[in-house]
Amino acid sequence: MYSEHDNATGTAHPIPWHKDRLIGPKPPLKLRDIWAIQLQMTKSGL
């Protein structure tokens, strides 16, 4: 999962997969998403 990148000194360093990505807990579901899930469950009979 690492890629190589040459820097100014010529040595290779692995670049982590989550570079430039936000990490941490997911945001809570929006009311619109909750209603969509509920509708799908109702339609499927759960």
Q: What's 17's DSSP letter?
A: T
Average pLDDT over residues 8-22: 77
The Cα-based distances of 10 to 1, 17, 19, 21, 29 in angstroms read: 21, 21, 21, 26, 46
Question: What's the confidence (pLDDT) of residue 42?
Answer: 94
Question: What's the confidence (pLDDT) of residue 35?
Answer: 97
Q: Answer yes or no: is pLDDT of 38 > 70.
A: yes
Q: Percent of the chain having pLDDT more than 70?
A: 76
Q: What is the pLDDT of residues 21-33, one digit of tens each?
A: 878 898 999 999 9
Show the tokens assigned to 27.
């945001």
Task: Give 2's pLDDT tier (boundaries 50, 70, 90).
Answer: very low
Residue ranges of the domains in the chain? 3-44
Helices (H), the chain: 31-44
Distance CA 34, CA 28 (A): 10
